[in-house]
């Protein structure tokens, strides 16, 4: 049975994988599903945040070469990626994606990441990158009633829904650096704690609702389910 490593950039995504995504994928056929923070997780003060691509690439290639039964994916925020083409930490495809329509940005980066890994490994079937256009909290707007209930603030459901209704999909919530999804939530819930509240809300909402509202996330999850059957 296959095993899956999911590289994440912070504790919120780590908790989501362990509490929500992992149990679902176990049921689909994976023997093990592990969230792993990018970079050196032992450096606790530096946990979270997107590392430069060369460091992340080395980690991916090392795992794929050393364990022929492991699959690698990631949950990484597009807008936080180092992108300057002249910087050594830049992520492949990120600079070009900035010129593309919204629907093409994440696929552009994902394809570039796969091509870059393929320079080290001819067979990249065990690597399935996933780029979140915005941060994890955007997914929670998939069901605003359950989001509000899950964090113990049912009276905020209408305000959450108003934010959601301004966009075609929860995955698009973020029209400037000053209005990213977590900031919108914290303006309404100043005591919002991302890893704790986010995972509770995600459990309340469920993967079915997230997949219904978030087509890019749905395609990724379907891809992972397909890997479990290989």
Give the C-alpha separation, 46 to 173, whole Å.
27
77-95 mean pLDDT:
83
CA dihedral 17, 54, 99, 119 (to 10 degrees): -100
Q: State pLDDT tens for residues 156-215.
A: 999 999 999 999 999 999 867 778 898 999 999 999 988 889 989 999 999 999 999 999
Contact (CB, 8 A) for 165 and 173: no
Q: State pLDDT tens for residues 38-52.
A: 854 444 344 445 788
Tokens representing 23 are: 């149990």
Sign of the Cα pseudo-torsion (7, 43, 192, 23, in order):
positive
pTM as predicted? 0.90
Tokens representing 72 are: 């690698």
SS3 1: coil
- For the chain, domain boundaries: 3-134+212-228, 137-210
Contact (CB, 8 A) for 2 and 71: yes
- CA distances (Å), 87 to each of 53, 104, 188, 215, in order? 10, 23, 37, 32
């Amino acid at each position: 049975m296959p095993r899956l490593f999911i590289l994440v950039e912070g504790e919120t995504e780590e908790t989501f994988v362990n509490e929500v995504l992992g149990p679902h994928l176990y049921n689909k056929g994976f023997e093990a599903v592990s969230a792993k923070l990018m970079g050196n997780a032992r450096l606790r003060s530096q946990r979270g945040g997107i590392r430069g691509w060369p460091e992340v690439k080395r980690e991916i290639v090392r795992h794929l070469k050393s364990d022929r039964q492991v699959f690698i994916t990631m949950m990484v925020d597009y807008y936080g990626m180092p992108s300057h083409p002249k910087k050594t930490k830049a992520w492949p495809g990120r600079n070009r994606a900035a010129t593309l329509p919204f629907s093409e940005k994440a696929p552009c980066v994902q394809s570039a990441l796969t091509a870059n890994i393929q320079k080290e490994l001819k067979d990249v079937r065990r690597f399935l990158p996933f780029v979140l256009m915005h941060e994890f909290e955007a997914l929670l707007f998939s069901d605003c009633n359950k989001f509000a209930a899950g964090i113990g603030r049912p009276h905020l459901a209408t305000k959450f829904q108003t934010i959601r209704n301004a966009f075609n999909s929860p995955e698009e919530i973020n029209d400037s650096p000053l209005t990213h999804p977590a900031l919108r939530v914290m303006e309404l819930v100043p005591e919002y704690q991302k890893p704790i509240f986010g995972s509770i809300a995600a459990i309340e909402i469920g993967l079915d609702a997230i997949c219904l509202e978030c087509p890019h996330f749905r395609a990724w999850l379907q891809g992972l389910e397909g890997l479990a059957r290989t």
